[in-house]
Chains A and B, each alone.
Chain A
Amino acid sequence: MAHGHSHEGGGHHIVPQSVLRNTFLALLVLTLITVGTSMFLHAVPSLGFLGIPLAILLATGKASLVVMYFMGIKYDKPINGVIAVGMVLFVVIFMVFTMMDTTTRKAFGDRFGTTTMEDAEHWKELKAREKEILEGAKKVPLTPADYQRLGAVPADTTAKQ
């Protein structure tokens, strides 16, 4: 263990070297596991969807090890811990709320968000439906009698210059 007297400058807690060594080894092992899982997932494409969550899980694990032991949050004043947690919270808020928009743009069936490249066939379909659209417009219950009711003046031939 750390030898001899170490007159404490203040109440700073000294993390025992054994803890540091174990954390370091744990970090290396976790890195190996991360690479291992990605290799494994390459081999088994059916589990491909696990890629991101596993990677994030392992990375957060390693990061929390570094924060707790290397940066000493475990032995530190609680306010620094609150700051660390707050930091992660706000990154997550930013990510979640932005993704909430970008991933749900086609939620209501309307052809929102399609880029022009994908939408070429929409135009063809529109052209095909032209006859039907004009028919639809015709069926609108407008007769000359309606004009008067709607207060529409007959076509104004004296065009405005």
Chain B
Amino acid sequence: MSVTMIEPGQTMPAIEHHYLNAEKGIKSWLTTVDHKRIGIMYLISVVLFFAVGGLLAVFVRLELLTPGRTIMDAAMYNRVFSAHGIVMVFLFIIPSIPASLGNFLLPIMIGAKDVAFPRLNLASFYIYWAGGILGIIGMLSGAVDTGWTFYAPYSTTTTTVVWMTLAVFVAGFSSILTGLNFVVTIHKMRAPGMTWTRLPLFLWGIYATAIIQVLATPVIGITMLLLMMEKLIGIGIFDPKLGGDPVLYQHFFWFYSHPAVYIMILPAMGVISELMATFSRQKIFGYKAIALSSMAIALVSFLVWGHHMFVAGQSEVAAIIFSAITYLVGVPTGIKVISWVGTMYKGSISLRAPMIYAQMFLFLFTIGGLTGIMLGSLNVDVHLHDTYYVVAHFHYVMMGGTVIAFLGGLHYWWPKMTGKMYNESLAKWAAGLIFIGFNVTFFTQFILGSQGMPRRYYDYVPEYASLHAFSTYGSWILGLGLLVAFICFIHSLIKGEQVGADPWGGTTLEWLTTSPPDAHNFKRVPLVTRNPYDYDAAYDDLLGDGMGDGASRTPVVSPSRS
């Protein structure tokens, strides 16, 4: 097929054969082993659970609008905030970027046809849904009001958490299998020439996340198992009445859950590295620094979990050691932020929607990271632990970090996944609303927390009433913004216009295949010969086909190079 040069303004010819219409019918989707389709199915389920979790969050904030009862009583409120926590953590944010964007892009970005174990990939999708359904049953049947942490004496003596612990146990397996799949794929299936230093930084993020998933998730598996044993056969290692120790449960729980927060943020950092490079059209500043800091975070994150338990009755010796190492894990994050800002230096910054989300990420994640440094100090944490300061901190890092990066990545790779471009102004309005709503909601909570407002409180002292009101108004704006973003994507599916292979001028491998990509990603296994963000070399690619024989070239927007 010869290649025609497309002048700007001319409509792009639609691609006839691609992974979406390779096979037809629901059955072909449900039994597919194509990593791209599994990625799309994960995307839909992840957005679904995000909607459920988000709705619960709106109810939580509505209840806290005024002191005393606003719309529900204490027991219901406790169940709603627990469900919000569990759905958001286990069913949305852990699988969000690695399972949807990661699944779709990992094989294409390393020039492979599929992940190492495609059937295992489909199996982990169904295990994820088994966990999801068990979770919903758990929420509806049992009165799980222990929060997403299921702390020991309360969760094993008073309420029925067996369904929910089973759901977390099962969902954990899906996370393990995805991690395992990704580690083997990155190790064994890279295209010829794709050395470790030519791996895009998004894949370094996914690789570090996969390692944490494989190493940490089994421990939440055994923790949930022991919790069920505690409840069903009264094993007694967590229940103080039988001689057990609730602090031991917290050790078990946080050994997984702190690395889990790095499972949530590392893929987001990977997405941001990609966005910064493409939209500043500048080589990433300090590629090795970012790649190494991802690995450093992955390893050191296993040594710091004790900072969740400074006031939980832990010994001072352990508290001091945990606090010291917690500060060490803050340093690589600082390097990443500095490198991203360095990438923008002397770049050519185009403020399209993905780049706006990247800027929002930098703004919000910096606040999240710095308040993490605050919480790491021992004596300040005694005052701030389990208050709204902690709530604000982890929302700034998880929502301000991972969700914003997820939206940015989604806008960035949407043309590649669907072949259609989203409406630019609609996306910008959504980003603006989200940014303002987010800050009004959660920065207020920093002040609430440092003033002493405890976490998970259904009713509060009247002094905090006006701050809570601000926070609730903010949550409405934030909810509206997310709704507009959702509409923007649906609108683009219906009316978005066709795009070429590389609408953004990206230089990583996925921009060299068609969009939407072919069922087998590449016709010929690509030969990688340069760094992922080498824009000078990339220009020649856009004209040549990189195989050195110029046989078939990608239809490109002719860079109107006069």
Contact = CB atoms under 8 A, between A and B. Distances in A.
Contacts of A143: none
Interface string A101-126: 11011111000110100000000000
Given A97-B251, A102-B247, 13 more contacts: A86-B215, A94-B255, A97-B303, A100-B317, A100-B321, A101-B247, A101-B251, A102-B315, A104-B318, A106-B315, A108-B316, A112-B313, A113-B315
Contact of A104 (B219, B245, B315): B315
Interface of A: 79, 86, 90, 93-94, 97-98, 100-102, 104-108, 112-113, 115
Given A90-B215, A108-B316, A101 B255 contact: no
Contacts of A98: 248, 251, 255
Nearest to B319: A101
A115 B243 CA distance: 9
A101 B315 contact: yes
B219 A94 contact: yes
Contact of A97 (B215, B306, B316): B306
A79 B187 contact: yes
Nearest to B211: A86
Nearest to B188: A79
Contacts of A112: 313, 315
B379 to A, nearest CB: 15
A107 B302 contact: no
11 contacts: A79-B187, A97-B322, A98-B248, A100-B317, A101-B306, A101-B315, A102-B245, A102-B248, A104-B317, A107-B316, A113-B313
A101 B313 CA distance: 10
Contacts of A79: 187
Nearest to B255: A94
Given A79-B187, A94-B219, A101 B314 contact: yes
Would you call the interface of chain A mostly helix, strand, loop, or mixed? helix
A112 B312 CA distance: 12
A93 B302 contact: yes
B243 to A, nearest CB: 8
Contacts of A97: 251, 255, 303, 305-306, 318, 322
Interface of B: 187, 215, 219, 240, 245, 247-248, 251, 255, 302-303, 305-306, 313-318, 321-322
A97 B258 CA distance: 14
A115 B215 CA distance: 34
B315 A107 contact: yes
Contacts of A101: 247, 251, 306, 314-315, 317-318
Nearest to B251: A98
A150 B553 CA distance: 85
Nearest to A102: B248
A15 to B, nearest CB: 23
A139 B172 CA distance: 60
A131 to B, nearest CB: 31
Nearest to A108: B316
Given A100-B318, A101-B314, A104-B318, A93 B303 contact: yes
A62 to B, nearest CB: 23
B309 to A, nearest CB: 8
Contact of B302 (A90, A102, A113): A90
Contacts of B305: 97
A91 to B, nearest CB: 10
B317 A107 contact: yes
The 10 lowest CB-CB distance pairs between A and B, nearest first, are: A101-B318, A104-B317, A104-B315, A105-B315, A98-B251, A100-B318, A101-B314, A107-B317, A101-B315, A90-B215
A115 B302 CA distance: 30
A101 B255 CA distance: 13
Contacts of B248: 98, 102
A4 B303 CA distance: 53
A131 B318 CA distance: 37
Nearest to B245: A102
A105 B245 CA distance: 12
B537 to A, nearest CB: 30
Contacts of B247: 101-102
B510 to A, nearest CB: 26
A93 B322 CA distance: 13
A102 B187 CA distance: 39
A19 B400 CA distance: 57
A90 B219 CA distance: 11
A95 to B, nearest CB: 10
A111 to B, nearest CB: 13
A113 to B, nearest CB: 8
- Most chain B CB within 10 A, of A97, A106, A113, is at A97
Contacts of B219: 94
B425 to A, nearest CB: 49
B246 to A, nearest CB: 12
A90 B321 CA distance: 18
Contacts of A113: 313, 315
B190 to A, nearest CB: 13
Contacts of A93: 302-303
Contacts of B315: 100-102, 104-107, 112-113
Nearest to A117: B243
A86 B212 CA distance: 12
A20 B215 CA distance: 31
B229 to A, nearest CB: 18
Nearest to A101: B318
A105 B313 CA distance: 8
